[in-house]
Amino acid sequence: MIERVILELCAERGAGKSICPTEAAKAWDIGNWRARLPAVRAAAVHLARRGDIVITRKGRPVDPDHFKGIYRLSLSPAPARPDDGDA
């Protein structure tokens, strides 16, 4: 559930833009969002390991297994498509 919320919010924000984890927590459970933050972080780490999102800190991508402090979430850039020679 929370993974879907994160992906939807990132997609709504658009390419090159990021969301705050609190946005995902509030969208998931507005009445208890603070308690949901550890689950948001765990879901973000899982999504980042899969390559679906990028976790950033101070505007720079971080290792999903080794980051601390305030972070943001954004969709991973689309992989470059191989040139098919039709240019």
Residues 17-76 pLDDT 10s: 999 999 999 999 999 999 999 999 999 999 999 999 999 999 999 999 999 999 999 999
The radius of gyration of the chain from alpha carbons, rounded to an integer in Å, stands at 14
* Integer Cα distance of 40 and 19 in angstroms: 12
β-sheet bridge partners, residue 56: 61, 72
Residue 12 CB partners (closer than 8 Å, separation 6+): none
* Integer Cα distance of 2 and 24 in angstroms: 7
Six-digit token pair at 16? Answer: 């090159």
Q: What is the CATH number of domain 2-74?
A: 1.10.10.10
In this prediction, residue 16 carries a pLDDT of 87
